[in-house]
Structures are given as C-alpha cells and as structure tokens.
Homo-oligomer: A and B are copies of this chain.
Amino acid sequence: MRDFFNPASVAVAGASRSGEKLGNVAIANMRRFGYAGRIFPIHPQADTIMGLPACPSLESLPQPVDIAIGVIPRELIPGFVQECGKAGVRKVIVSAAGFADAGGEGVALQEKVASIAADAGVRMMGPNSVGTISTESGFVTSILSLEKLGRGSLSIVAQTGLFAAGLARWIATTQYFGLAKVACLGNKADVNELDILSYYRDDPQTGLIGVYTEGVEDGRGFFDILRSITPNKPVLVLKGGRTETGSRMAASHTGSLAGSPEVYRGALAQAGAIEVESLEELFDLAKALQYCPEPRGPNLGVISVTGGGCVMAADACFSRGLRLPPLKEGTLQEAKQVAPPWASLTNPADIWSAVETRGIGKAYLGITRAMAGQDDVDMLMPVFTLVPESAFDMADAYGQIREEFPEKPLLACAIGGSRDEYDEWFEAMEKLGIPAYGSVERAVAAAAALYRYHAWRRERMRRPMTST
C-alpha cells in the first residue's frame, strides 16, 4: 500500500492546460502540501500543464510511474486501467463516479473495471474515490482544494470522501491535532479497509486510527485486523448505516451491505475498538487519545469557577461512568492556601470563593495543583467560563501543571466566551497538548473514552486473547 501514500512518481489523467479540471486541483494540492515526487500530467495534446511536462499516454512515459490517478469520465476508465497494466503502473486511483454508487449499468461497469485491474496486476482504489493524503510525503490526490494540513498521528480510512474534503479543510484551519494519513476508498472494488488497516498497523507515523465504514465484505477479516491493532494503537469506528434506515441508505450509496448493528457493536467492543456515533465524537475522542498519557483509573478531579459547571460535570461523570474522588485532608489543606477559611471545597471544586480572595490565576493554579497531587485523582478537568473578568495567563498556569504532573491526563472545557476569547483559550490549551472542548459533556465523554481504552488495553495485556 505504500505507493498509495508515498509514491516516487505519479501520473494524473484529467488535468487541462487551462487549469480548470479536477486533475489540476489534485496537482495544486500536491504542490501546496510540498510533494517532492515527480508529477506527470497525461494529456493527448498538451506539452506542459501547470509548468509540468505532459505525456500523451502512460505508455509514453520515460519510465513507469508508481501510481496513476484517473480523474476522467467513467466511460474512459476501463481503457485507462488497461493502459496502467500495459505501462507497468501497478497502482491506480479512480475518481470517477457512476459505478456501483449509481446502480444499474454502473454495477456492471465496476465489475468490468475490477476484473481488468485484477488481470493486469494493478491495485485499484475506487472507483468513486478521492484517494489519499499523506502529510509526511505531501502526496494528496483529492480533487477538492485542500489547505495544507499539519502533521499528527491520526490516520483515517473512510468510504466517504469527506475526510479529504470539508473535514480536511476544517482541521487545517481550526484544529491543532493534524493528521498522518487519509484514505478515502469510495466503492472499494479492490482496495478495502483491510488493506489500509494492515498498512496503518505497521506505519510508524500512525499512532491512532479513525475508521468510517458503511459495511465490510469480510467481517471476520476486519475484526481480526482490528484486534491486531488495538493493543498498540486506538481505533475509533464510526459505522454508517448502523440503524435500519441508515443501512438501507448505505446500500444505495456505495453498494455495501451494512450488516446487523448489534453484531457489529459486539464485535467492535470485543476487538477493543471504540465505537463513536458522529464525526464530532470521532475527533473529540481522537485528540484526547493522541494528546494524553494513559490514565491510571476512572477518577476525575474537576476545577470550576462556576457552580453550574460543577453540577454539569458531575452529571456528565455519572452518565459516562467516571468517578469524582473526595478530596483528602492534605489536598484540602493545600487548596485552602488560596481559598478563604469558610470555603467548603469538594470535588468538583467550585473555586469562586478562592477567585474572590486570591484572584483567578492563583485560584485555578493552586487548586488544580493540590488536586493533581492527590494520588487517586487520575485525570484533571478545569472548567472555564470566558469573560474578561476571568482572564488570566492560562498557558503559564497549565504549562506548569503539565510539567509538574506529566503522567496525569488533563482535559479542558469552556462554557461560552466571545469568539476571540474562545479562540485564544483554545489555542493556549491545545498548544500545551491539552485537548480543549466547547462543552463540559464533550470533555467528560473524551476523558471516559480515554480511560476505557486504556483500561481495556491493560486487561488485554494481562490476559492475551486466544484466537477464536
């Protein structure tokens, strides 16, 4: 699979001299991401396209490229794949839609293309695939304009193209976690989740994996692969078509059979994969798993300047199975150094009285530090409410906590705040490697997933699973 992410050379069919075609978008993406391999536009007449020497066909290339991308109408695809085989090109990504996704004669056309590829010894991603992204190599085949993405350890494999489209743009312009690799598989006539997951399992850039699938053909193989990955790398799975209605829709989208939701759910849990219900949840959990160390247990220490935030955090902890250990005598004594004598501190700690007497910065830092020092506090969650009166140097305070307690996961959330206040807070937290959330519930859900994954993993290490 390496050539799908890090080829030394690529041929692009479907770019024009005027630069208006989707193939041009793919080439522009590769330039923006700093792809260092050679790019050959394929064009019947042009000498150069976007300043690159063009060739009339794959066979006329000076030497075979590692991969070809076909951003051309569906009726030209069979011939193009055949040409790959003749020209010694062993990998192809087919962007064109109108195959199994369209039903009718598209189904037969897909079968034809798949059999041509198989006969010619060509591995094909697609059809109806926007292909791959690698932030390491800068190789990007998306036919939708992307902003340059930062590098991270999250790799994605998805049937949908969303991850190499709007979602990649969202991550590039608003998020701090970055990505390692993305593969958008489309109709999966050949390359499927199993191929990509096997590759990600051994890929050193990939630290955790997000999967969006509407159904896999080889369920047993899928779960075997998951099981071989999860002890080392967390895998988050969003199953499209996990309900009755959704599954009918999935069938018409990429022709997948979605399978029974209950069977999937059980198998995922057994394989140590983390099932999520939305894209939002996928990214919320992924960044906690990427940023945070392993928590030793389910005990959360919550620090909040608002009593309402304390109550909401307590509700969310109960719902998600996290515990709020009571503060011990030593913790209270330390915390009381920044609080008035009459303050009744507990966990969640409403620190308003300390804020009134010692100022917001000292109150957050002092009480967070006291809680972090308590041995049965496994994770910490400061809750902020962003108003000018509660502004302080959060990067400084929580930078200290991160340094003093590197082994304790720290997740932050904020309730409200103006746009600028929120952005500033979000940047301060995320740059410290503290996952930041816009709601108490989302932060607690992430902490709970972090705990559950590592608890499962510890259990798994103690009692290796026997092959079933």
Residues of A bordering B, CB below 8 Å: 22, 25, 97-98, 101-106, 143-145, 147, 158-162, 165-170, 172-174, 212, 214, 240-246, 248-250, 252-254, 277-280, 306-315, 317-319, 324, 342-344, 346, 348, 350, 352-353, 356, 385-390, 414-422, 438-441
How near does chain B come to A304, taking the closest CB pair, in angstroms? 10
In the complex, the answer to whether B314 meets A245 with C-beta atoms within 8 Å is yes
Instruction: Pick the residue among B161, B170, B278, B419 that contacts A306 (CB under 8 A).
Output: B161
In the complex, the answer to whether A387 meets B166 with C-beta atoms within 8 Å is yes
How near does chain B come to A222, taking the closest CB pair, in angstroms? 18
In the complex, the answer to whether B353 meets A102 with C-beta atoms within 8 Å is yes
Q: In the docked arrangement, what's the CA distance between A332 and B441, Å?
A: 42
In the complex, the answer to whether B165 meets A387 with C-beta atoms within 8 Å is yes
**What residues of B have a CB within 8 angstroms of the CB of A344 in the complex?**
102-104, 252
Given the interface contacts A249-B310, A253-B310, does A315 sit within 8 Å of B389 by beta carbon?
no
Instruction: Pick the residue among B101, B143, B160, B415 that contacts A167 (CB under 8 A).
Output: B415
Which B residue's beta carbon lies closest to that of A438? B280
Instruction: Pick the residue among B252, B280, B353, B417 that contacts A441 (CB under 8 A).
Output: B280
How near does chain B come to A98, taking the closest CB pair, in angstroms? 7
Q: In the docked arrangement, what's the CA distance between A243 and B322, Å?
A: 13
**What residues of B have a CB within 8 angstroms of the CB of A343 in the complex?**
102
In the complex, the answer to whether A315 meets B419 with C-beta atoms within 8 Å is no
In the complex, the answer to whether A418 meets B240 with C-beta atoms within 8 Å is no
In the complex, the answer to whether B307 meets A253 with C-beta atoms within 8 Å is yes
Which B residue's beta carbon lies closest to that of A254? B307
**What residues of B have a CB within 8 angstroms of the CB of A172 in the complex?**
418
Q: List 11 A-B contacts (CB under 8 A).
A: A102-B342, A105-B342, A144-B387, A160-B307, A160-B311, A166-B415, A170-B418, A245-B318, A249-B310, A249-B311, A278-B439
How near does chain B come to A137, taking the closest CB pair, in angstroms? 22
In the complex, the answer to whether A416 meets B249 with C-beta atoms within 8 Å is no
Q: In the docked arrangement, what's the CA distance between A386 and B174, Å?
A: 14
In the complex, the answer to whether A159 meets B342 with C-beta atoms within 8 Å is no
Instruction: Pick the residue among B248, B313, B314, B388 that contacts A248 (CB under 8 A).
Output: B314
How near does chain B come to A15, taking the closest CB pair, in angstroms? 15
Q: In the docked arrangement, what's the CA distance between A362 and B315, Å?
A: 47
How near does chain B come to A381, taking the closest CB pair, in angstroms? 14
In the complex, the answer to whether A253 meets B311 with C-beta atoms within 8 Å is yes
In the complex, the answer to whether A98 meets B308 with C-beta atoms within 8 Å is no
The prevalent SS among residues of A at the interface is helix
Q: In the docked arrangement, what's the CA distance between A305 and B22, Å?
A: 16
Nearest 9 pairs of A and B residues by beta carbon: A166-B416, A160-B308, A246-B315, A243-B318, A253-B307, A249-B314, A167-B416, A240-B311, A166-B385
**What residues of B have a CB within 8 angstroms of the CB of A438 in the complex?**
280
**What residues of B have a CB within 8 angstroms of the CB of A324 in the complex?**
245
How near does chain B come to A97, taking the closest CB pair, in angstroms? 6
How near does chain B come to A430, taking the closest CB pair, in angstroms? 15
**What residues of B have a CB within 8 angstroms of the CB of A422 in the complex?**
170
How near does chain B come to A357, taking the closest CB pair, in angstroms? 10
In the complex, the answer to whether A169 meets B417 with C-beta atoms within 8 Å is yes
Which B residue's beta carbon lies closest to that of A158? B308
In the complex, the answer to whether A241 meets B169 with C-beta atoms within 8 Å is no
Q: Which of A104, A160, A387, A415 is the most central at the interface, judged by chain B CB atoms within 10 Å of its CB?
A: A387
**What residues of B have a CB within 8 angstroms of the CB of A145 in the complex?**
387-389
Given the interface contacts A166-B414, A173-B419, A416-B162, does A311 sit within 8 Å of B241 by beta carbon?
yes
How near does chain B come to A244, taking the closest CB pair, in angstroms? 6
In the complex, the answer to whether B170 meets A246 with C-beta atoms within 8 Å is no
How near does chain B come to A437, taking the closest CB pair, in angstroms? 10
Q: In the docked arrangement, what's the CA distance between A382 and B188, Å?
A: 27
In the complex, the answer to whether A166 meets B417 with C-beta atoms within 8 Å is yes
Q: In the docked arrangement, what's the CA distance between A336 and B353, Å?
A: 65
How near does chain B come to A467, taking the closest CB pair, in angstroms? 32
Which B residue's beta carbon lies closest to that of A277? B441
Q: In the docked arrangement, what's the CA distance between A352 and B256, Å?
A: 18
Q: In the docked arrangement, what's the CA distance between A453 and B315, Å?
A: 25
In the complex, the answer to whether B342 meets A104 with C-beta atoms within 8 Å is yes
In the complex, the answer to whether A244 meets B352 with C-beta atoms within 8 Å is no
How near does chain B come to A259, taking the closest CB pair, in angstroms? 14
Q: In the docked arrangement, what's the CA distance between A144 and B167, Å?
A: 36
Which B residue's beta carbon lies closest to that of A145? B388
